[in-house]
Amino acid sequence: MSKTSARLQLKGMTKAYPTVIANDSIDMSIAPGEIHAVLGENGAGKSTLMKAIYGVVKPDEGKILWDGQEVSIQNPAFARKLGIGMVFQHFSLFETLTVTENIALAMDGYKDLETLAARIKKVSAEYGLPLDPNQLVHSLPVGLRQRVEIIRCLLQEPKLLIMDEPTSVLTPQAVRTMFETLRRLADEGCSILYISHKLDEILELCHSATIIRGGKVTGYATPSEETASSLARMMIGKELPVCSREKPALNGAECLAVNDLSKIADDQFGTNLQSIGFGVNCGEIVGIAGISGNGQQELLYAISGEHSSEVKESITIDGKPVGNLNPDQRRNLGMGFVPAERIGRGAVPGMTLSNNAILTAHRHGMVGRGLLKLDKAADFAQKCISDFAVKCGSKKDPITSLSGGNIQKYITGREILQAPKLLVVAQPTWGVDVGAANIIRQAMIDLRNEGSAILVISEELDELFEICDRLIVIAEGCMSPSVAVEETSKEAIGLWMSGMFPGGPSEKTSHTASKELG
């Protein structure tokens, strides 16, 4: 690609931190109207590179050329003035403000909210992403919140749009709509940098790809000429491990039972749980699908014991009522738990990997006569690092020195290695690269085959269909019937995620409306 045809060129981009070189002399180029994927394992340096382009991180060396001219992007405001927009994986919206007010915060010099609201309505409709400008953000489902982020960028008429894991919270139907929008933007000349661990998306959407491994560019690819396996091989440098779903004939007893659980959300923007009831047997994996913000967090708090219930029989583990027990008491009965929030709830930021192992695994020989056995904790941490391919300097590293995906691998590994009777996992591979995701999924399948009961709450439908025996959908705090994976489809589950299941909220609304019209 010639200099004159490139919208953005990176030359020798380098960024080093005390323990790692995140970007090592990276060269990359993207043309107007090109959808360009940036692929790599967790910790490969993708996020650092995107932050450098958007002005969040200042590179140590290298050049950024914009339309052939060298520029120094000092901050995101300067990036936006150039025409660079970024949709982050984790939204940055204020719950108590309207759509218009949230968008106005990123629109320099916009004081007339009424005019801005009209533009939001017009532009969102034009791109097939309709929004109500006056709606409060806390009342929006997660798919519409992402629309707010996208429209906020589109209103600035970007020449380059950076998308970081944009489909991780969307239904299959919403993904189709977003792809149509991105293709239209590309047709209009907007360049798009697309980061995703979902290789099928890369194959379907992207024109070109840059592969980064260990902070260095290891290759360039044209996705239309590749397969998911070949792209994965370029990313991880070896053949992609394949999950084995073979299951022994186990007829285990019910391990977890949730019985008519209703709960008012503590958070004013939370979701109330309405007569939730389901069970998980020993030797099976049950998945709960749903769009984020439909009661998953409240359900996890109830099952983990972080929010106890006045009705102790509302939750049982191994037949024992635990609704009124705290998290430690439930762990003593054999429960393992991987929260969605890695730092803060899954691990303590200022502590080493070894010390973070002690937090939940101390029951496994790490305490004697009231004293910690730090050598045992270190051995456990090292096994977790080895078994789950955690990239780090050593077990003495602070956990926050790891990339998000490697933190996730460590926390998930810590729980699985304890061989719990019941494992409750939220978003097990969110933001985890394809190779590491298969390691985690296979470990959960192996644990199931040893007789453990596993409950997985995930927004990744591909993941749920790959590892689960049964699926349930949660929508607006209501639970669908369970269905065997082989008896349903992603499209059907996608519809259920909008509440259209027997007895679901959308079906009730539709039925009520029909009666009123009749």
Question: Which class in CATH covers the domain with range 254-334+420-513?
Answer: alpha beta
The answer to whether 23 and 45 are in contact (CB under 8 A) is: yes
Q: Are 93 and 137 in contact (CB under 8 A)?
A: yes
pLDDT tens digits along 443-501: 999 999 999 999 999 888 888 999 999 999 999 999 999 999 999 998 999 899 989 99
Overall size of the chain counted in residues: 518
Task: Give the pLDDT score at 170.
Answer: 67
What per-residue confidence (pLDDT) applies to 169? 62
What pLDDT digit, counting tens, does each position of 335-353 carry?
999 998 888 889 998 899 9
Of 21-25, 221-225, 399-403, 438-442, least confident by mean pLDDT is 399-403
Quick check: do 8-236 and 254-334+420-513 share a fold?
yes
Q: Mean pLDDT of all residues in the chain?
A: 88
Distance CA 228, CA 440 (A): 19
- Residue 426: name the closest of 330, 300, 253 by CA: 300
Residue 196, pLDDT > 50, answer: yes
CA distances for 14 relative to 22, 23, 64, 111, 134, angstroms: 8, 5, 11, 39, 43
Write down the pLDDT at residue 106.
78
- Decide if pLDDT at 508 tops 60: no
pLDDT (mean) for 371-385: 94
Cβ-Cβ contacts under 8 Å for 262 (sequence gap 6 or more): 272, 273, 274, 275, 276
Residue 57 has φ and ψ, to the nearest 5°, of -120, 140
Q: Where are the domains of the chain?
A: 8-236, 254-334+420-513, 350-419
- What CATH number matches the domain at 8-236, 2.60.40.1930, 1.10.760.10, 3.50.50.60, 3.40.50.300? 3.40.50.300
When pLDDT is averaged across residues 217-241 and rounded to a whole number, the result is 87
Cα 169 from Cα 143, distance rounded (Å): 7
- The CA distance from 144 to 138, in Å, is 11
Q: Amino acid letter at 192?
A: I
Mean pLDDT over residues 186-191, rounded? 95
Question: What single-letter DSSP state applies at residue 239?
Answer: P
Burial (CB < 10 A; 0-12, 13-18, 19+), residue 86, is buried
Reduced to 3 states, what is the DSSP secondary structure of residue 342?
helix
Among 35-39, 67-71, 263-267, 325-329, the least confident range = 263-267
